Amino acid sequence: MDKEDEYVKTLFYGLMKRERGMLARAITLVESTNLKKREQARMLLSQVLQYNKGVMAHSMKAFNAFRIGLSGPPGAGKSTFIESFGKFLTAQGHKVAVLAVDPSSSTTGGSLLGDKTRMPELSCDMNAFIRPSPAKGSLGGVTRTTNEAIVLCEAAGYDIILIETVGVGQSEFAVSDMVDMFCLIIPPAGGDELQGIKKGIIEVADVVVVNKSDGDLVAAARRIQTEYVSALKYMRPRSRVWKPQVLRISSLTKEGIPDLWKTMQSFQHSMVDSGELVSKRNKQQETWMWNYIRDHIMECFITHGGVKNILPELTKQVRSGLITPGTAADKLLKEFAKES
């Protein structure tokens, strides 16, 4: 066995021993774009997948961890919520991992500084693991890493994985495609302040959480709750067994958090019992495979020597209407099909 395999072995046993430091190092490995490290990451992930499957079979469960996506406009109170909700869960004996997806992030990969200030108590909790978004890259790159980090957290014994979208853009949809349950967190404000919410994101929410329902804001929170309840009525149900709910909570006073957790558990039970969770996860796996293929092919296409040579001129011709987009695409694809 060479040195690299030794490293994979060390990480694997570290995960089995539920060492947080080893989990952090394992995630750093899957975040690497270095070819050699990606090979090690693949070895580690295949061992971990096998292990996770074994644990599921042994416990006769359909899953190792409950994966929950959290999204909402900036200022809705996501960090405050994760701090309160995370502490609530660890107090009940759960192990909670928090992963962030932020393709626009410029923070350095391993730094926890931002999260220490955002979630001061949870980041000191021995039963919580907080990982900031991988620093660089396209949405494709960041989501791939997050997907793989989920698998590693599960192997390290985390039974609740919270995946938070920090950035704006398409990341909310990407996250809704990698979790069991998707929660939209909104502040008790209407109109302009809710502009940050992407169209269509409400349709993928399993629960809408109106945060900051405390003090003077309770009346506004009630109003927003009613608005969302009626908006959801007109949406096509995505599940046979679950109707999206709208709940009010306060992350500051923690009021409503136990009820929200009950709602989440009831969602989980319905999805497991009906078999919908298994089919949802199976479908997600396939979706991600195609996402990666699409990303990879695009990358190869754009960096292909022949394509690079003729692309600027063809683009110019398409823009000025000298040739049709279809003809240009055919020429480019023909060039791509040639050996580079």
Nearer to ligand GDP, 120 or 325 (CB): 120
Nearer to ligand GDP, 14 or 86 (CB): 86
Q: How many residues bind ligand GDP (CB under 6 A)?
A: 15
**CB distance 172 to 201 below 8 Å:** yes
CA distance 259 to 243: 16
The span of 41-49, 77-85, 87-95, 263-271 binding ligand GDP (CB under 6 A) equals 77-85
Q: Considering only residues 40, 143, 165, 250, which one is a binding residue for ligand GDP as defined by CB under 6 A?
A: 250
Helices (H) and strands (E) in the chain, counts: 12, 7
Q: Does 251 bind ligand GDP (CB under 6 A)?
A: yes
Q: Does 79 bind ligand GDP (CB under 6 A)?
A: yes
Could you tell me which of 331, 283, 325, 290 has the C-alpha nearest to residue 307? 331
Nearer to ligand GDP, 114 or 157 (CB): 114
CA distance 98 to 287: 23
Residue 236 CB: number of other CB atoms within 10 A?
Answer: 5
Q: Does 78 bind ligand GDP (CB under 6 A)?
A: yes
* Binding residues for ligand GDP restricted to 54-73, rule: CB under 6 A: 72
CA distance 39 to 5: 10
Distances (CA, A) of 305 to 147, 309, 318, 330: 31, 6, 20, 16
**CB distance 114 to 75 below 8 Å:** no
**CB distance 8 to 47 below 8 Å:** yes
**CB distance 66 to 159 below 8 Å:** yes
User: Two tokens at 244?
Assistant: 């999206």
Nearer to ligand GDP, 78 or 144 (CB): 78
CA distance 24 to 33: 16
Could you tell me which of 39, 51, 38 has the C-alpha nearest to residue 12? 51
Q: Considering only residues 4, 6, 50, 75, which one is a binding residue for ligand GDP as defined by CB under 6 A?
A: 75
Nearer to ligand GDP, 14 or 188 (CB): 188
Q: Does 80 bind ligand GDP (CB under 6 A)?
A: yes
Nearer to ligand GDP, 252 or 318 (CB): 252
* Binding residues for ligand GDP restricted to 208-237, rule: CB under 6 A: 211-212, 214, 217
> Site mask, ligand GDP, residues 252-281, x = CB under 6 A?
x-----------------------------
> Site mask, ligand GDP, residues 120-149, x = CB under 6 A?
------------------------------
- Give the binding site for ligand GDP (CB under 6 A): 72, 74-80, 211-212, 214, 217, 250-252
